[in-house]
Amino acid sequence: MNQEKPKLTESRIPGAPTYPAARLTLRLLDELFGGDGADEVGVRLWDGMDTAQEQKLDHICRKLRLQPGQRLLDVGCGWGGLVIHAAQQYGVDATGITLSQPQADLANERIATAGLTNRCRALVRDYREMDKPGGYDALVSVGMFEHVGAALLPTYFARAWQLLKPGGVFLNHGIANTTTDRPRRSPSFSDTYVFPDGELVPISTTLRVAEEAGFEVRDVESLREHYALTLRHWVRRLEAHHEQALQFVDEPTYRVWRPFMSGSAHGFSVGRLNVYQALLVRPGGRGRNARPTTTTLIGGTMLTQQAILDALRPVVDPEIGISVVDLGMIREIAIEGDKVEVKMVLTTPFCPLAGMIAEQVRQTAATVEGVKEAKVTLLDEPWNPAWMQR
């Protein structure tokens, strides 16, 4: 690993040029990505990307256990969604930094619209220029770390450690490759056309370098399946807004992003790619830190919901021969403790097989680990073939 300290101008990320959204409108951003580019954390199938976005932001804030008055730094804040959510919902003083002027401008516009200018801001700043030791109670970095690259990882974690108060917490959210990935002989499609300055590292490398910088690793969560789902939504949204997208980028750029996102969805589905949230703590004195003694974190419910859905996928509607999940018949999965309620519609409500399908769904949901009681509620609404597209 090259440990030589790079000049700031040698940041792996080219900043604004990587984000062609210089002229992107907030409306299109919402329509394409559901806000900031939501990762589909805990999304309920029948809701959309906007709910997914809210859930993702909240998932992060809850992991950080933000308290009113605390100071939060979002490294690579994008369009400002996370700093706004944290200031609004958790009462923190939130600063976001980005390399992109258009991102900072739009983020500050959104902050002003939300009436949060007194405790929320976005700055155009490289993280290595942030130099207030112990200035923050919490740090977060979402989707920025992929641009750091292996050579700069020690610098990245050392700076994060320095910026945090003792006992402070850092949530690092980023895509990873696997240790078994063979080195490529030539640059990939993504290296060539999408992220020429990006570099993925395995989670084991990330955690090792974080520990070497002095962090204690408290929790690591993989959100791989969520990313596959998210990317599929993004591809569909991009295709549905082809004409609008061409007002901002040219056709070749559109054609690059479509296969890039589809290919990435495949990568996450098969496990070639992963995405992790690593929760790190700068230890306080004598092992004290800001975490509670229990290691139980949030997230179990969301993952169970996904597990139920995965379990239900092999259940087919015998008349159509397609999975009830792919048909869009499962409209809601409600979880309360170890009780699960699957709310579904039937493709042909009066068919004699209706009861059998519902019972098969119930029995299958009951086999999922952690489920004690499962019930199925048949919703009184007609099945819509358009749901198959979701």
Site residues (CB under 6 A) for ligand SAM? 11, 13, 15, 36-37, 75-78, 97-100, 103, 126-127, 142-144, 147
CB 351, min distance to ligand SAM, A = 45
Q: Which is nearer to ligand SAM, 94 or 144 (CB)?
A: 144
Element (H, E) at 344: strand 339-344
Q: Which is nearer to ligand SAM, 100 or 172 (CB)?
A: 100
CB 72, min distance to ligand SAM, A = 13
Identity of the residue numbered 293:
T
CB 100, min distance to ligand SAM, A = 4
C-alpha distances out from residue 161 to 126, 169, 280, 374, Å: 16, 9, 9, 46
CB 387, min distance to ligand SAM, A = 28
CB 293, min distance to ligand SAM, A = 31
Q: Where are the alpha helices (DSSP H) in the chain?
A: 26-33, 49-64, 81-90, 101-113, 153-163, 189, 203-212, 224-240, 242-245, 251-270, 300-312, 354-366
Q: Which is nearer to ligand SAM, 97 or 139 (CB)?
A: 97
Q: Which is nearer to ligand SAM, 35 or 328 (CB)?
A: 35
CB 55, min distance to ligand SAM, A = 14
Strand duo 93-98 + 164-176: pairing: unpaired
Q: Which is nearer to ligand SAM, 77 or 210 (CB)?
A: 77
Would you state the structure tokens that stand for residue 254, as one six-digit string? 């559109």
Q: Which is nearer to ligand SAM, 15 or 283 (CB)?
A: 15
Under 8 Å between Cβ of 172 and 278: yes
Name the residue among 199, 195, 184 with its Cα closest to residue 1.
Answer: 199
Under 8 Å between Cβ of 232 and 269: no
Residue 229 falls in which region: left (phi positive, over 0), alpha (psi -120 to 50) or beta = alpha
